[in-house]
Amino acid sequence: GQNIDQPTEMTATEGAIVQINCTYQTSGFNGLFWYQQHAGEAPTFLSYNVLDGLEEKGRFSSFLSRSKGYSYLLLKELQMKDSASYLCAVDSRNAGNMLTFGGGTRLMVKP
């Protein structure tokens, strides 16, 4: 089966750094995605990891450890607009990019 776990909610302060963890147990692995979803809006792509290590993109970085089934999304210099849900998703099939999503982490950024 597929199991993807991430915290339900997190709160952080504007200007700070926050790390959102994701652990997964899937029958296969072809890559891990992070998406951002503001309330009432479509999920938007943030990052993709297929190899172990850290991928940095501006204020956002994503880390993957395939041996541990673990990833995290790191958000630096938090801004109020970063308040959103962050979705971890695993592509566990050989074809089709059929992503299996975690429940999402709702991040609230406070002044």
Partner 1 sequence: DTGVSQDPRHKITKRGQNVTFRCDPISEHNRLYWYRQTLGQGPEFLTYFQNEAQLEKSRLLSDRFSAERPKGSFSTLEIQRTEQGDSAMYLCASSSTTRDTGELFFGEGSRLTVL
Residue 72 contacts partner 1 per CB under 8 A? no
Instruction: Please give the structure tokens belonging to residue 33.
Output: 């995605």
Per the rule left: phi > 0, alpha: psi between -120 and 50, beta: everything else, 69 is left
Of the candidate spans 12-20, 36-44, 58-66, 74-82, the one that interacts with partner 1 by CB under 8 A turns out to be 36-44
* Cβ–Cβ < 8 Å for 32, 48: yes
Q: Any contact of residue 42 with partner 1 (CB under 8 A)?
A: yes
Residues 7 to 26: which contact partner 1 by CB under 8 A?
8
Check residue 100 for interaction with partner 1 (CB under 8 A): yes
Task: Quote the least distance from Cβ 15 to partner 1, whole Å.
Answer: 27
| DSSP for 40-51, written as a single string | TS--EEEEEE-S
Largest CA distance in the chain: 44
Positions that interact with partner 1 (CB under 8 A): 4, 8, 31, 33, 35, 41-45, 48, 87, 89, 91, 95-104, 106
